[in-house]
Amino acid sequence: MDARFEGRIGHLLVVEDSALLAMDVELTALDLGVGRVSVAPNAAEALSQLNSGGVDAALVDVFLGKDDGRTVAERLVELGIPFALMTGAGDIAGLQAQLPDAHILTKPFMKDQLAETLEKLC
């Protein structure tokens, strides 16, 4: 186990509609020492978890099937919670223009890329 984030990120919210990818991110984040990982498969569930409180950082898929991850990103900004957007789409420049302060993690990604992104959020 790589414990570089132990004590630094107590609760990470992963907003991802692909169950397989969400599980991979969850297991990798826990292996990196994140204390707890919650998964939300859509914007409504993510917003509900955010309203419950206790989230320290988030990873948000931009395209959530019928939902748009930007709604979740806007709420994270309101709450002052650091986050990164995850996307497999090629228009990163356009996304960066819309949310200039957001960190962007391009899918697919490796453990080291996830760790670099989490480092930016701490």
Render pLDDT for 44-54 as a digit per residue (tens, 0 to 9): 999 999 999 99
Higher-confidence position of 25 and 5: 25
Task: Using alpha carbons, select from 75, 71, 57, 62 the residue that is nearest to residue 120.
Answer: 57
Q: Which domains does the chain have, with CATH numbers?
A: 11-121 (3.40.50.2300)
Mean pLDDT, the chain, rounded, equals 90
d(CA 9, CA 35): 6
**32, 47, 53, 113 from 106: Cα distances, Å:** 19, 23, 27, 9
Task: Using alpha carbons, select from 49, 103, 44 the residue that is nearest to residue 71.
Answer: 44
Task: Using alpha carbons, select from 110, 121, 112, 120 the residue that is nearest to residue 24.
Answer: 110
Count helices and strands (H / E) in the chain: 5, 7
**Pure H helices in 1-122:** 19-31, 43-52, 69-79, 92-98, 111-121
Residue 90: predicted pLDDT: 61
- pTM for the predicted model, two decimal places: 0.92
Task: Using alpha carbons, select from 77, 80, 86 the residue that is nearest to residue 113.
Answer: 86
Percent of the chain scoring above 90 in pLDDT: 66
Q: Average pLDDT for residues 51-72, to the nearest whole number?
A: 91
